[in-house]
Amino acid sequence: MNNNYIVIKPQRNLFRIPISEIIRYKDLLYFLVWRDLKVRYKQTIMGASWALFQPLVQMVIFSIFFGRLVKIPSENVPYPIFVYSALLPWTFFANSLNACNNSVINNAGLITKIYFPRLIIPLSAIGGGLIDLLLSFLVLLGIMAYFHFSITIHFLMIFPLLIGTIFTAIGIGTLLSALSVAYRDFRHIVPFGIQIWLFATPVIYPPSIVGSRFEFMLNLNPMAGIINGFRSAILNRPFSWNAIGISFLISVIIFMIGVGYFSRVEKKFADII
């Protein structure tokens, strides 16, 4: 009697994005995004309104302490909208990293039972954050109307800047999700590191406060140029193309490193998770 077997072998490529497989398993990707959203807001009174609440409360707190008490300059722009325009991409980025950090571990049962492209797991974690980001834009429109800021042609720049943010989140998120499987210390390191990263990024202060001496060091932070670009797009201010270009270049490098490392070690997940 002849038995036919299908043998699934891991790819040997160091850097491989299984785009065709992700498209084939797109229903699983949608399911994981929807499941994460349902779990996140299940049995909550405010539901998805929490996505609006987080950056709004941060804006109020930062405006009181850094805008009024410390009096950090905001480039002649009302500090609330100055900081909120930067909190939008930063909150999405920070939440994506936190979600990716434990994503593979939290889906251990799924990984050990069936085959699917493992990259779907961190992608689904970031996908849920995109939904929250879209909801937060509703608050932004209200704040812009309150402070009499209109939408201009600069606003269209948000879309390529968002792509840069997603690339950075995928690169670092996939790297962290893979490292957390082997080294559980990252479950504690990442939230602490994100808090430090916030103050190393021009979210609560303008890049000009750093000075030209340290401008290049600031731009090595991939989120620095992107967040400054978001602020310029929303507030209709000149873009710092040099900073944006450096951020996009570093984002692509981080993306390749993160996805490359994930692709290299994903074959071991089921054994060590």
The pLDDT tens digits for 55-99 are: 888 888 999 988 888 888 888 889 999 999 999 999 999 999 998
Question: 131-179 pLDDT, tens per residue?
Answer: 888 888 888 888 889 998 888 899 999 999 999 999 999 999 999 999 8
pLDDT of residue 1: 47
User: pLDDT class for 16, splitting at 50, 70, 90?
Assistant: low
Q: Which two tokens stand for residue 263?
A: 């692709």
Task: Record the tokens describing residue 143, joined without a space.
Answer: 């704040």
Q: Per-residue pLDDT for 227 more than 90?
A: yes
As a whole number of angstroms, the distance between CA 193 and CA 163 comes to: 23
What does DSSP assign to residue 108? Answer: H
* Domain edges within the chain: 24-272
- pLDDT tens digits, 151-164: 889 999 999 999 99
- Top-confidence residue, 180 or 40: 180
Beta carbons within 8 Å of 72's beta carbon, 6+ residues apart: 66, 79, 204, 205, 209
What is d(CA 19, CA 126) in angstroms, rounded to the nearest whole number? 17
Choose among 164, 159, 246: nearest CA to 207.
246
Specify whether the CB–CB gap between 92 and 165 falls below 8 A: yes
The residue-averaged pLDDT of 34-44 equals 72
Query: Which of 125, 133, 86 is CA-nearest to residue 107?
Result: 125
DSSP state for residue 48 in the 8-state scheme:
G
